[in-house]
Amino acid sequence: MKLKNKILPLLLLASTAVGCTDGFETINSDPNKLYEVNLQSIFPGTVYKTMNAISELNNNRMWSYSRYITNVAFQTPWNERGDGFYRKFYVEILRDLEELAKAYDDGSLPNSLAVVKTWKAFTYYQLLSLYGPVGLSHAGMDGGTDKRIFDYDSEADAYYSILGWLDQAVDEFDESSTDKILKDPVYNGDVQKWRKLANTLRLEIAMNIQNISEEKAREYAAKSMGHEEWLFSSLDDAFAPKYGTVIDKDCSWYYTRLYKEEIQTKANWGLIPSMNEYFAIYLFSYNDPRMETYFDGSNVYWPERQPYRMTDVLTRSHDCDVSGCSASDQQEHLQWMIDGYEVRDSLRVRYSIPYVPTPDNPGARTPFGWRRPIDPTDPNGTREIPDPLSMNEDNRCYINPRYYAMDATMPLLRWADACFLCAEAKVKFDLGSKDAQTYYEEGIRASFEENGLSASAAAYMAQEGIAWGTSHKGFYDTRKLMTADINGADGKDGQLEQIYKQRWFADFLDGMSAWRMERRTRALNLPPLFLNGSQAYEEGGNMYYGWPERLYFPDAERQTNAEAYYRAIDLLQKNSPKPNAARWGDNIFTMLQFAKPVPNQEEMIAGWENSDYVQFNMDFQAKKYGQTYEEFLKNARELTGIKEAEEALDKAYNFLIEATLLVYKVEK
């Protein structure tokens, strides 16, 4: 069903009712005023507005929800109740698209109409992912009066509508037509690439509705897979619009917000995203070279400042002269040697590592009264293990500056995504001309090519857990709340886990897509957003499981469109796989219809509720430069060319010996 023309003036009125006008109240003040409809002039602005809206969502919460990065200010469930994003999507973007769709509905410009339908489908897909029920087909004003009758579609109905638009768009694109967008920030007027976007987006949305209707998911996926030649097949095909270089017009939102406002103006790095611990554990577990393209190294901007040093335990051959042993100890150690034993020291040491993750929420490392355990290596039995990720801002690994460059590219649907979607469709529905392994491996290679790492792909794919149909137990995080396991040997479920996790690795900084995929698959099953145990929690949540499933509807809807607002909540709760009645049903913890319930959620909550200790560890980087002190020293000398031990170790690794924990004989 076609979206009625009056949805946008209506939403505009709803937004102005709470004082958030920003000048938009004048747009439709004259009902007789003709609105200029011109794709060539309007569409580029629509693209940039969409990019900016998604960028702002990413920065404010989606990046944090995806766990790609830690942004200290935003690593909590979002209590946003304003109508800012409603206005951005409905008033600033969809209004123009709807006007364009009406203007080209006569079929005279088939490619222009197909582009508009594709962009509308993508925009509504974002709204469905954020809120659940959306205003799509039943919107307007009753007889021109002030009575609001803006209604909401259920998720299922809205998904079927946008899939229908994409059906039409795929069929309508005509490469022989002279009709094309002259000012096209996405594909520079390339109709073939636009058709590939429409078809690939149809496959993406089809796979996303499996928990709503597996039958419908198969139906629409089959349409896309029936034309694999119309799916992304190169980096040039990817849906990755690029920003421009004109400040305050077409330059990157991240450049303005992160670089200009925080770094350049305030020299404030506290709000710059850095490498999240949970994501990093996977990168470390599988020796993923993309880490170095996604993030800068620790202290890269301040090499002269105090470096991060992790704590570890190494052994070395014992020397009483070095250790300063007492006379009685010397006698005992000498006797051990006479008896044929090797005598060694156990040392507590500290040294630098090139990449240091930022904890998920630095202020909530020991929530709910969890205690720090006693260090088992401490001979006195009194030393508490310190937080291994306690560090200065200087030490964090910030996102690579290319992501907030003025003219940054913004991937919204990648070539790798298309490959992994094909792999999933093969496993789930036996669709496609290739086997699932081939699609899966093509996805990894596509991601490595995107990041300039094609030469490293083969070695990466040879590892257990990465190679198709294999499993590997990865490292723990620093609190032993999760392990970076990949269980590819576990039949079809394991193969799907490999596909989903590889897609997560590849989709770096596409926060919306990552949050959406995790809600529909629960493949990552990462720990929730633990707060510090004293903060107020949003209604409907469990303080041991603070994991958001959606955004609130704006308060403006409750004030100006109440009847439809409460019907939308009824739809939300009726269709949710796990309803939640808190806050009259409009809460951020109600699962959307496309979502999958969290496996073993109650058991996980009980486990965290009954925890006493935080199991601090740095196993994922332990023995970084060798298994023993001797190996560290050998590698430091080779790296620096310095022979003197202390100088070589300091130069290479900022190495310190904190304490000799004990002297022991190596049992035969």
* Structure confidence at residue 373 (pLDDT): 87
Distance CA 599, CA 237 (A): 36
Distance CA 64, CA 519 (A): 14
Q: List CB contacts of 454: < 8 A, sequence separation 6 or more.
A: 445, 448
Report percent pLDDT > 70 for the chain: 92
Mean pLDDT of the chain: 90
CB count within 10 Å of CB 66 equals: 27
Predicted confidence (pLDDT) per residue in 9-53, tens digit: 334 333 333 333 333 233 333 333 334 457 778 898 999 999 999
Banded pLDDT at 164 (limits 50, 70, 90): very high
Mean pLDDT of the region 300-308:
94
Mean pLDDT of the region 552-570:
94
Predicted confidence (pLDDT) per residue in 166-219, tens digit: 999 999 999 999 998 888 999 999 999 999 999 999 999 999 999 999 999 999
* Structure confidence at residue 1 (pLDDT): 37
Mean pLDDT of the region 473-480:
97
Banded pLDDT at 271 (limits 50, 70, 90): confident
Q: Give the domains, in start order, of the chain with CATH numbers.
A: 37-261+401-442 (1.25.40.390)
More confidently predicted of 40 and 8? 40
Distance CA 66, CA 84 (A): 22
Mean pLDDT of the region 70-77:
86
Q: Is it the case that residue 87 has pLDDT exceeding 60? A: yes
Q: List CB contacts of 419: < 8 A, sequence separation 6 or more.
A: 439, 440, 442, 443, 446
> In degrees rounded to 5, what are phi and psi of residue 199?
-70, -40
Banded pLDDT at 151 (limits 50, 70, 90): confident
Predicted confidence (pLDDT) per residue in 597-648, tens digit: 999 999 999 998 899 999 999 999 999 999 999 999 999 999 999 999 999 9
DSSP state of 535: S
- Structure tokens that stand for 350 in this block: 């500290």
Mean pLDDT of the region 368-391:
88
> In degrees rounded to 5, what are phi and psi of residue 413?
-160, 115
Cβ contact 104:171 at 8 Å: no
Q: What does the DSSP assignment read for 633-661?
A: HHHHHHHH---SHHHHHHHHH--EEEEEE
Predicted confidence (pLDDT) per residue in 219-229, tens digit: 999 999 999 99
